[in-house]
Chains A and B, each alone.
Chain A
Amino acid sequence: MTIGVEGTTASAAAKTILDSEILRVEDLHTSFFLPIGELQAVRGVSFSLHRGRSLGIVGESGSGKTVLARSIMRLNLGANVEISGSAFFEGRDLLALSRREMRRIWGSDIAMIFQDPMTSLNPMVKVGRQVTEHLRKHNGVGRQEAKRIALDLLNEVRIPEAASRIDRFPHELSGGMRQRVSIASALACEPSLLFADEPTTALDVTVQHQILNLLSREQRQRNMTMVMVTHDLGVVAGRTDDILVMYAGKVVEQASTVEIFDKTQHPYTEALMRSIPRTAQASHTPLVAITGRPPVATHLPKGCAFSPRCPYVQPRCHEEDPVLAPTGTSGHKVACWYPVGSDSNREAFERNLSNRLPQTLAVAESLGADQSSETPISVPEGGLA
């Protein structure tokens, strides 16, 4: 692992951190060295997060969202991995700490919830003990005291009949209950930062709703900072303050949640929003599919990684990779040469349409060739590609 921060720069950076800033990630790169070549999972991600805020990291599988979260957490990414950049948590660079120092932070200051609660809980340990394991370790709480706290926590995450469930093993609980146990365990030491990596992907829709509500409630009550990693825009809409959209290891768009939904600027974000079916749409509304598929991280295209699928692609996109830059609106950043909504974007679309570029034609046909209208458009029967 290479760490590009020396003592002097670290303290200088620490000074610039605002009081309310809890996490600042700067130019984070994570690469895996595989027999088939270098896999650049995370390619220069920077963002900062203020205390008490919630951030959604959205992307498809392979976009690097989980590797990003695990790189910040310094969780086992295996051998043959190289992480560079920095991640300042309350002023200390996590990437420069020893494993021993990290162990003091895990669980007590930063906690994490995983997708599959069956594999993240120890099958051999009763849930009560599991919930307070790090509380006993970090805070030196005694056995009786720990049991009382465990019961309080299980009640707080609304596990029915907590007193009897405290002595159960994980396999005796349903998936939703297990996820409640892992949330209770994550909350035990009152961490200031919580990572939730696809916390509801393995759960049914009604249970997902309960778990997301539980997380939102705890986050607000405890004024905890939360990072929610998900592939589902529905999970973060209305629940997080800000959103990062990742594609091929980079952040392509960053803004407040409302802004990103209402004033989408990156073509990939726009394409994602168009491609998801919504219950508000009439039945049989044609979906605007994204042509092609995400790039393979060992063979990234030159220039912008989304360019082979982008309906607005121009020659420049194949040559130069756009950097994440601020737009007119405060806090809204986008990495695109022809952002959605700009004049250059409209010109690019017209140009591609007259050049009969396949992905542009597909979008135009699905939208009924009416670019001035809003995103969900129903076209007459037979009007789809």
Chain B
Amino acid sequence: MAGSGKAHLRSAEEVLIQVQDLVVEFPAAGKNTVKAVSGISFDVMPGETLGLVGESGCGKSTVARSLIQLPPPSSGSVVVNGVELTDLSDRQLRPHRTGLQMIFQDPISSLNPRRRVADIVSEPLRVWGPHDEDEQAEIVDRMLYAVGLDPEVARDKRPHEFSGGQCQRISIARSLVLGPKVLICDEPVSSLDVSVQAQILNLLRDLKAEYGLTLVFIAHDLAVVKNVSDRVAVMYLGKLCEVAEPDKLYSNPAHPYTTLLLESIPEPDPAVAIDVSLDSTGEIPSSIDPPSGCRFRTRCPQASERCTNEEPQMREVSAGHYVACHHPLVAVAG
């Protein structure tokens, strides 16, 4: 896995977000470095939903955070709406952040427990205006209504009086109050019950259509990602493996890692036979000392010597379907 390469990028004029050669590293104990993200490039078209999937530790949340420069990447370029964010100072960055909002996995801990819902949702307005309080209250009510909460009931309550699903609705309201172009969703439904998860997914779909949002949707659940995404990027140990439209990716995975992920999904269908003897896939290696060449080679059934020495580059296997693998599981077009 690998891969570097930019074959999957689209024309810079058309895209809303373009990330190139993104590298994020953190200092670790001793003189070690955690190589969280190692040279990732991707782009998102306006109005598109990009799904980022991968196991924990693959760097998907780090990618999301470096989009809003929290923290700024170690190197690489992040262009949103034509502006190179990595060149900006903190002060210059602030107005650009209003157009990029984020919702988090744990809705309860991402809301201040001591503040009323109306104050939580109106906080961005107090910074950016309008500063008229009546006007703010009106926007807050409209936003709460849009996410499916009754403003009369919710306004004066505090987060602990709500369930997890309702808290996630409140954080969505807060993220949309400034009218952002891009909403970054970092595992927005993974701490919710299944019956509530569908409500939030449907809500995000409706809001996206209503407000013309562009979504970067991060999740470990492949079924959820398939349901919401227009394009899916599979990550492994700080690298991209495969990029494609969901229906293509799920029906014809080209990367051995994608196949492994798909085979691991516990499908809620008893008719799907399970081979219980399969048990040889190992676990994700440490990102302090990732394998050379293709990073997936230590778990890959296809691995050859070439995978040890040479890092695979992104290439197109069919229209709109890209893979970074020396031995893709589908025939390469052309």
Binding site for B on A (CB under 8 A): 60-61, 158, 160, 174, 176-177, 204-210, 212-214, 216-217, 220, 231-235, 237-239, 257-258, 261-262, 271-273, 275-291, 293-294, 384-385
Contact = CB atoms under 8 A, between A and B. Distances in A.
Contacts, number: 160
A311 B300 CA distance: 47
Contact of B194 (A158, A231, A284): A231
A160 B298 CA distance: 14
Contact of B264 (A208, A214, A237, A275): A208
Interface of B: 55-56, 163, 165-166, 193-199, 201-202, 205-206, 220-224, 226-230, 245-247, 250, 260-279, 281-284
4 pairs of A and B residues whose beta carbons are closest in the complex: A234-B266, A209-B264, A289-B198, A275-B198
Contacts of A214: 279
B304 to A, nearest CB: 22
Contacts of B230: 283
A271 B276 CA distance: 29
Contacts of A177: 283
Given A213-B278, A237-B268, A238-B274, A205 B220 contact: yes
Nearest to A286: B202
Given A207-B283, A278-B223, A237 B266 contact: yes
Given A237-B267, A293-B163, A283 B226 contact: yes
B84 to A, nearest CB: 32
A208 B245 contact: no
Nearest to A283: B246
9 contacts: A174-B283, A204-B220, A205-B222, A213-B277, A235-B266, A237-B269, A277-B223, A294-B193, A384-B202
Given A217-B277, A279-B223, A234 B267 contact: yes
A283 B266 contact: no
Nearest to A239: B274
B194 A276 contact: yes
Of A176, A208, A232, A284, chain B has the most CB atoms within 10 Å of the CB of A284
Contact of A209 (B165, B206, B220, B266): B266
B198 A276 contact: yes
B276 to A, nearest CB: 5
A293 B165 contact: yes
A60 B266 contact: no
Given A158-B279, A283-B226, A283-B245, A208 B266 contact: yes
B276 A275 contact: no
Contact of A287 (B201, B274, B283): B201
Contacts of B263: 209
B223 to A, nearest CB: 4
Contacts of A277: 198, 201, 221, 223-224, 226-227
Given A205-B220, A206-B261, A213-B278, A285 B270 contact: no
Contacts of A208: 264, 266
Nearest to A200: B266
A287 B202 contact: yes
